């Protein structure tokens, strides 16, 4: 639930910042006539994300065990690639996100309401699809894909993000986005590593990858999955008490270079605190 809360918070805050930037720009430039098209794009993007989440949850249920494991493994690896790209992209562009989006929207406003709709749909839809995919694979990796805990954690994270986004939009809250995305990015790399290991295990169970019987370690007696600390490790990092050699190799092979490169990326940023948010407060 903790991992899902963090994913919902981070992705939700990204989405809230994007929406705030787009709406603030239209209000500030006196183009309130384009607001209905903008909100329509945001609404359709949210519906698409919900539809994608429902398709991922209910779509594979009628398939064979091997097909479900194969789909789960492929989607897990795909979500790790997507979330890794997102982490590095945000680390590089967080400080320039506003200028990037406003430039796109400026061109769209000059073209017409349809272009404004498309810009908002694409900008918010990307965040929504990323969230749906990673939340689904994260829930599968923790073995709670059919329970309510992942949904509650994600909902709580999104709700927190909406509140923070509104406060930032109104100028009531200032957040150091560079620090926020650096800390959450580090945590999500560890979460993604667990999802990657889970995806490898799925492909092993599907018979696509070998080594299902070759365990790197088995600590199920020391760390029972039903214990509070076992539940915490599983829920936060997709930890598996029985890990194959290939899973362990994949986990280490992903975490070490990715974490080093990410820390180097966020450290090369200027040390000066960028306390101002990416959204200016406006009087809507």
The pLDDT tens digits of the residues spanning 137-157 come to 767 765 555 556 667 777 888
Q: Whole-number mean pLDDT of the chain?
A: 80
Mean pLDDT within 30-43: 90
Position 103 in a domain: yes
Position 135 in a domain: yes
CA distances in angstroms from 228 to 137, 153, 177, 231, listed in the order given: 22, 17, 33, 5
What pLDDT is recorded for position 271? 43
Position 278 in a domain: no
Per-residue pLDDT at 113 exceeds 60: yes
- Residue 253 lies in domain: 2-267
Position 272 in a domain: no
207 backbone φψ class: left, alpha, beta (φ>0; ψ -120 to 50): left
Q: Is 110 exposed, middle or buried (0-12, 13-18, 19+ CB in 10 A)?
A: exposed
Task: Name which residue leads in pLDDT, 63 or 27.
Answer: 27
Position 281 in a domain: no
Per-residue pLDDT band at 275 (split at 50, 70, 90): very low
What pLDDT is recorded for position 237? 67
Mean pLDDT within 58-77: 84
Per-residue pLDDT band at 58 (split at 50, 70, 90): confident
Mean pLDDT within 124-130: 82
pTM of this structure: 0.72
Position 283 in a domain: no
Say how many CA atoms lie within 13 Å of 104 toward its Cβ.
18
Position 273 in a domain: no
Position 129 in a domain: yes
Q: From CA 265, how far away is CA 268, in angstroms rounded? A: 6
What pLDDT is recorded for position 283? 46
Token pair of 152 as six digits: 């509650």
What pLDDT is recorded for position 132? 83
Please give the tally of structural domains in the chain. 1
């Amino acid at each position: 639930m903790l991992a899902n809360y963090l994913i919902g918070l981070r992705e939700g805050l990204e989405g809230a910042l994007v929406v705030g930037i787009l709406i603030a720009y239209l209000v500030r430039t006196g183009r309130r006539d384009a607001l209905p098209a903008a909100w329509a794009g945001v609404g359709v993007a949210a519906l698409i994300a919900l539809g994608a989440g429902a398709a991922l949850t209910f779509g594979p249920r009628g398939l064979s065990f091997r097909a479900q494991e194969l789909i789960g493994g492929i989607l897990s690896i795909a979500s790790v690639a997507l979330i890794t790209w997102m982490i590095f992209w945000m680390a590089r562009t967080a400080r320039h996100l506003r200028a990037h989006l406003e430039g796109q929207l400026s061109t769209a406003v000059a073209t017409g309401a349809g272009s404004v709709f498309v810009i908002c749909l694409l900008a918010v839809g990307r965040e929504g699809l990323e969230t749906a995919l990673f939340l689904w694979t994260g829930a599968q990796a923790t073995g709670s894909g059919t329970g309510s805990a992942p949904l509650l954690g994600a909902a709580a994270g999104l709700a927190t993000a909406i509140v923070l986004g509104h406060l930032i939009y109104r100028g009531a809250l200032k957040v150091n986005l560079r620090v926020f995305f650096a800390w959450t990015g580090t945590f999500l790399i560890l979460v993604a590593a667990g999802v990657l290991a889970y995806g490898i295990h799925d492909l092993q169970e599907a018979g696509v990858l070998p080594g299902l019987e070759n365990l790197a370690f088995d600590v199920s007696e020391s760390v029972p999955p039903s214990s509070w600390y076992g539940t915490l490790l599983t829920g936060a990092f997709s930890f598996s008490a029985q890990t194959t050699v290939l899973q362990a190799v994949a986990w280490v092979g992903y975490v070490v270079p990715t974490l080093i490169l990410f820390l180097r990326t966020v450290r090369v940023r200027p040390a000066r605190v960028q306390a101002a948010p990416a959204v200016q407060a406006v009087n809507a």
